Homo-oligomer: A and B are copies of this chain.
């Protein structure tokens, strides 16, 4: 990754997320990065490919942040995953989940869809693993889907409500589900 390429990805990361993908032109991305359009097209080939790189980096960054938090955490680590959503520096409450937003904008067949689906699949899988550790008594798959829906509902509304209140609420509800499992057997 050349220095200019990294600056382009930085600029695209901020602009696509904050303003929306379709609302941001390549010229604005290039200007913000302090780079000419020529350089942008030399590095990424097209806006569509730049969008794919933007989504992939968004996933990689958050995934690394999640691993970091999980490694340093005591059980129940399921709640750490939820905490990582609100605490990770790339999230802005007024804009919500970058992947849900992108899904609403990208046309069917766009290469970015693969990255979006892979991201959600990865989160869902990781959640199932954490649940299996935190709630050994429960039907782990069922509980994982339950908590996953709570999380997705909450972060989908982060951008609409403009705050992370619903994520906190989802965390409380998930914590109660885990507690109830601990009491059961």
Contacts and interface: CB of A to CB of B under 8 A. Distances in A.
A77 interface: no
B120 A149 contact: no
Main secondary structure of the interface of A (DSSP, over half): helix
Interface of A: 19-20, 22-23, 94, 96, 99-105, 107-108, 116-117, 120, 145-146, 148-154, 156-157, 159-160, 166, 169-170, 173
22 contacts: A20-B107, A22-B23, A23-B105, A94-B108, A99-B160, A100-B100, A100-B156, A102-B104, A103-B159, A103-B160, A117-B160, A120-B160, A145-B166, A148-B153, A149-B149, A149-B150, A149-B153, A149-B173, A152-B152, A152-B153, A153-B153, A153-B154
Contact of A149 (B23, B99, B159, B169): B169
Nearest to A148: B153
Contacts of A170: 149
A102 B151 CA distance: 20
Nearest to A152: B153
A162 B38 CA distance: 37
A150 B104 CA distance: 20
A170 B153 CA distance: 11
